[in-house]
Structure 1
Amino acid sequence: MFANVSETAVEEADAPKGHKYPLAFDARPAADLTDIDLFTRGQPFEAFARMRETAPVCWHDEEMGAGFWALTDYHDIRKVELDTKTFSSQRGGILMNYGSADARHPLLHRASLDTMICLDQPYHIPLRREHMPFFTPAYIADLRKRVDIKVASLLDDMEAKARDTGQPIDLVEMFSAELPLFTLSEILGVAEADRPKLVKWMHYLETAADTMRKGDVIDPEFFGAFVQNVLDMFEYGKTVLQARRKAPKEDLLSAIAHAKIDGELLSDEMLDGSWLLIVFAGNDTTRNSISGTMKLLTEFPEQKQRLLSDASLVPNMVHEAIRMVSPVIYMRRTATQDAEIHGQKIGEGEKVVMYYGAANRDPAVFEEPDRFDVTRANAKDHLAFGMGPHVCLGQRVANMQLECAYRQILTRFPNVEWTGEIEIAPNNFVHAVSKLGVNLGL
Structure 2
Amino acid sequence: MGLQLVTETVLPDRGPQDPVNPIKFPMTPPVDLGEPLNFAGEQPWDAFKAMRESAPVMWHPLANKKLEGFWALTRYDDIRAASLDTKTWSSQMGGIMMAYATGERQHPKLHSASLNTMICLDAPHHMQLRREHMQFVKPNYVADLKTKVDAKISDLLDNVAKVGPKLNWVEHFSSQLPLFTLCEMLGVPEADRPKIREWMDMLEMASYVLGTQDLSSVDPQLVMNFLTQVEAMFAYGRDMLLKRRAEPTDDLLSAIANVEIDGERLPDEFLDGSWLLIIIAGNDTTRNSMSGGLRLLGQFPDQKAKVMADRSLIPNMVHEIVRMVSPVMYMRRTALNDTEIRGQQIAKGEKIVMWYGAGNRDPEMFANPDQFDITRENASRHIAFGVGSHVCMGQRIANMQLNAAYTQIFNRFPNIAWTGKQTVLPNNFTHSIGELEVDLGI
Normalized against structure 2, the TM-score is what?
Answer: 0.96
- Distance of 1:155 and 1:434 partners within structure 2: 19
Shift of 1:220: 3.8
Partner of 1:207: 205
Shift of 1:328: 0.3
Deviations 1:354-390 (A, max 9, x none): 0000000110010110111111110010000000000
The answer to whether the Cα contact below 8 Å between 1:4 and 1:270 also exists between their aligned partners in 2 is no
- Distance of 1:216 and 1:355 partners within structure 2: 28
1:161 aligns with 2:160: no
1:340 corresponds to which letter in structure 2? E
1:23 aligns with 2:10: no
Partner of 1:402: 402
The answer to whether the Cα contact below 8 Å between 2:3 and 2:125 also exists between their aligned partners in 1 is no
Partner of 1:277: 277
Deviations 1:169-206 (A, max 9, x none): 00000000000000001111111111111111122222
1:356 aligns with 2:368: no
The answer to whether the Cα contact below 8 Å between 1:17 and 1:67 also exists between their aligned partners in 2 is yes
In structure 1, the residue corresponding to 2:205 is in which secondary structure?
helix
- Distance of 1:44 and 1:86 partners within structure 2: 29
Partner of 1:47: 47
Give 1:195's match in structure 2, choosing from 187, 193, 196. 193
Shift of 1:12: 6.3
2:72 corresponds to which letter in structure 1? A
Shift of 1:27: 2.4
Distance 1:378 1:209, change over 3 A: closer
- Distance of 2:44 and 2:290 partners within structure 1: 20
Partner of 2:118: 116
Partner of 1:230: 230
- Distance of 2:171 and 2:17 partners within structure 1: 42
Give 2:143's match in structure 1, choosing from 125, 141, 156. 141
Deviations 1:76-109 (A, max 9, x none): 0001100112110000100011032432000000
Identity %: 54
Partner of 1:266: 266
2:166 corresponds to which letter in structure 1? P
The answer to whether the Cα contact below 8 Å between 1:418 and 1:438 also exists between their aligned partners in 2 is yes
The answer to whether the Cα contact below 8 Å between 1:73 and 1:359 also exists between their aligned partners in 2 is yes
Give the aligned CA root-mean-square deviation in angstroms: 1.6
Shift of 1:168: 1.1
1:433 aligns with 2:424: no
- Distance of 1:285 and 1:368 partners within structure 2: 24
The answer to whether the Cα contact below 8 Å between 1:308 and 1:411 also exists between their aligned partners in 2 is no
1:332-343 mapped onto 2 (5 Å cutoff): 332-343=332-343
Structure 2 residues without counterparts, runs of 5 or longer: none
In structure 2, the residue corresponding to 1:81 is in which secondary structure?
helix
Partner of 1:316: 316
Partner of 1:100: 102
- Distance of 1:399 and 1:121 partners within structure 2: 27
In structure 2, the residue corresponding to 1:77 is in which secondary structure?
helix
1:59 aligns with 2:59: yes
Shift of 1:52: 0.3
Normalized against structure 1, the TM-score is what?
Answer: 0.96
Deviations 1:85-137 (A, max 9, x none): 21100001000110324320000000000100000011100100000100001
Shift of 1:36: 1.1
- Distance of 2:305 and 2:359 partners within structure 1: 28
Shift of 1:18: 0.9
Partner of 2:178: 180
The answer to whether the Cα contact below 8 Å between 2:423 and 2:433 also exists between their aligned partners in 1 is yes
In structure 2, the residue corresponding to 1:340 is in which secondary structure?
strand
Deviations 1:317-366 (A, max 9, x none): 00010000000010000011111111111111101000000000110010
Distance 1:319 1:109, change over 3 A: same
Shift of 1:3: 4.2
- Distance of 1:2 and 1:105 partners within structure 2: 26
Distance 1:441 1:38, change over 3 A: same
State the 4+ residue runs in structure 1 displaced beyond 6 angstroms.
Answer: 12-15
1:43 corresponds to which letter in structure 2? Q
Partner of 1:127: 129
Shift of 1:23: 1.2
- Distance of 2:194 and 2:317 partners within structure 1: 30
- Distance of 1:380 and 1:142 partners within structure 2: 24
Shift of 1:207: 1.8
In structure 1, the residue corresponding to 2:435 is in which secondary structure?
strand
Deviations 1:259-298 (A, max 9, x none): 1222211011100000000011101221001000000011
- Distance of 1:344 and 1:129 partners within structure 2: 36
1:10 aligns with 2:9: yes
The answer to whether the Cα contact below 8 Å between 1:4 and 1:269 also exists between their aligned partners in 2 is no
In structure 2, the residue corresponding to 1:256 is in which secondary structure?
helix
- Distance of 2:368 and 2:255 partners within structure 1: 43
The answer to whether the Cα contact below 8 Å between 1:361 and 1:370 also exists between their aligned partners in 2 is yes
Deviations 1:152-173 (A, max 9, x none): 11010010111xxxx5100000
2:33 corresponds to which letter in structure 1? L
Partner of 2:244: 244
Distance 1:209 1:364, change over 3 A: closer
The answer to whether the Cα contact below 8 Å between 1:71 and 1:355 also exists between their aligned partners in 2 is yes
- Distance of 2:217 and 2:327 partners within structure 1: 30
Shift of 1:209: 4.6
- Distance of 2:38 and 2:254 partners within structure 1: 40
- Distance of 2:195 and 2:20 partners within structure 1: 46
Partner of 1:84: 86
